Amino acid sequence: QVQLVESGGGLVQAGGSLRLSCVASVILVRDNDMGWYRQAVGKQRELVATITSSGITAYADSVKGRFTISRDNAKNTVYLQMNSLKPEDAGVYYCAADRVIVVGKNPRDWGQGTQVTVSI
């Protein structure tokens, strides 16, 4: 059974940074599109960043220039480096995997989520 285990969430002041990690088992991150989604209270889950199997990255407009998605194939891990955090970045962040990740289609595999809280 595929497992995606996120870590790295927490409480940070606005302007601060966090790095989220997602360790995958059973699947290989290098063979799949990997994505980070977030869901704030009362809002729909949104796709924040993706990295394709070929290493192409893409970001939601709201995080461009502040967030960076990357992967370490040797550790079978995907990261989300989040800088210059804003209160509106708060929410539960989920790691996801599928052969292809596109907006509007739920990925095949999901992690359990990690909470990010940004204080003013």
99 confidence band (pLDDT: 50, 70, 90): very high
Nearest to 51 by CA among 24, 78, 75, 23: 78
> What's the pLDDT tens digit per position in 35-82?
999 999 999 999 999 999 999 999 999 999 999 999 999 999 999 999
